[in-house]
Structure 1
Amino acid sequence: MDFSALTKRSSASFNQHKNLLKKLAKGQAVKCEVCQGILTLDLKTQQPAKGVAKCPNGCTEIVLDLA
């Protein structure tokens, strides 16, 4: 089995999310790819050691493990 294509897509997706989170952490405005709403970064969630980056419409939601 050749998993190279899957590995490349996974790596590209990880790097895209990493760069998005870097921009949010710097305070830069980042738009949702789906609705073009501004994403927000919330590091003070109800769950301990969790954060979330999301758009106002809920199309994008990235849960972060801060532990």
Structure 2
Amino acid sequence: MDFSALTKKSSASFNQHKNLLKKLAKGHTVKCEVCQGILTLDLKTQQPGQGVAKCQKGCTEIMLDLA
């Protein structure tokens, strides 16, 4: 089996999320790809060691492990 296409797609998605999180951490305004709402970064969630980047409508939600 050839997994190279899946590996490339997975790598591209990871890099896209990493760049999005870098922009949010620097205080830049980033919009949701689906609803064009503003994404927020919350590092003080109820779960210790976790954070979340999401839009107000909830169509984008990226859970972060901060440990």
Q: TM-score, normalised by structure 2?
A: 1.00
Residue of structure 1 equivalent to 2:14: 14
1:12-62 Cα distance to aligned partner (Å, 9 max, x none): 000000000000000000000000000000000000000000000000000
Residue of structure 1 equivalent to 2:65: 65
Residue of structure 1 equivalent to 2:24: 24
Paired with 1:49 and 1:21, the residues of 2 have a C-alpha distance of 16
**Structure 1: runs of 5+ lacking an equivalent:** none
Q: What do you get for the CA RMSD once the two structures are aligned? A: 0.2
Paired with 2:41 and 2:63, the residues of 1 have a C-alpha distance of 10
Q: Kindly provide the amino acid, as one letter, of the partner of residue 42 in structure 2.
A: D
Q: Kindly provide the amino acid, as one letter, of the partner of residue 20 in structure 2.
A: L
Please state whether the residue corresponding to 2:63 is helix, strand or coil.
strand
Report the number of matched residues. 67
Structure 1 stretches (4+) deviating beyond 4 angstroms?
none
**Structure 2: runs of 5+ lacking an equivalent:** none
Q: TM-score, normalised by structure 1?
A: 1.00
